[in-house]
Amino acid sequence: MSVRRFNWPFLAPRYWPIRLGLGMMKLMVALPFRGQIAVGDWIGRLLSHIARRRRRIAAINLDLCFPELSPTEREALLEAHFAALGIGLFETAMAWWAPDEKLRDLVQVAGAEHLDQALARGKGVILLTGHFTLLELGARFMTMQQPFHVMYRPHKNPLYESAQRRQREWRSRLPPLRHDDLRGLLRAFKQGRAVWYAPDQNHGLRNSVFVPFFGIPTCTITATSRLTELSGAAVVPYFPRRLPGAAGYEITILPALENFPSGDVIADITFINELLEQYIRQAPEQYLWVHRRFKTRPPGSPGIYPR
The C-alpha atoms of residue 60 and residue 55 are separated, in whole angstroms, by 9
172 inside domain: yes
The C-alpha atoms of residue 304 and residue 142 are separated, in whole angstroms, by 35
76 inside domain: yes
The C-alpha atoms of residue 32 and residue 197 are separated, in whole angstroms, by 31
224 inside domain: yes
Query: Structural domain tally of the chain?
Result: 1
pLDDT band (50, 70, 90) for residue 181: confident
Strand partners, 187: none
237 inside domain: yes
Q: Look at strands 234-242 and 249-253 and give their pairing.
A: antiparallel
pLDDT band (50, 70, 90) for residue 71: very high
Full DSSP string of 110-145: E-HHHHHHHHTTSS-EEEE---BTTHHHHHHHHHTT
Instruction: Say which range, 153-162, 227-236, 291-300, has the weakest mean pLDDT.
Output: 153-162
DSSP designation for 14: G
Residue 7 clears pLDDT 80, i.e. is over it: no
300 inside domain: no
What tens digit of pLDDT does each residue of 217-246 get? 999 999 999 999 999 999 999 999 999 989
Query: What angle in degrees, to the nearest 10, is found between the helix axes of 158-172 and 16-28?
Result: 30
109 inside domain: yes
307 inside domain: no
Query: What angle in degrees, to the nearest 10, is found between the helix axes of 16-28 and 71-97?
Result: 90
What tens digit of pLDDT does each residue of 183-193 get? 988 999 999 99
Residue 5 clears pLDDT 60, i.e. is over it: no
- Domain boundaries, position 68: 18-286
Q: Residue 110: phi, psi to the nearest 5? A: -115, 130
156 inside domain: yes
What tens digit of pLDDT does each residue of 17-66 get? 777 878 888 888 999 999 999 999 999 999 999 999 999 999 999 999 99
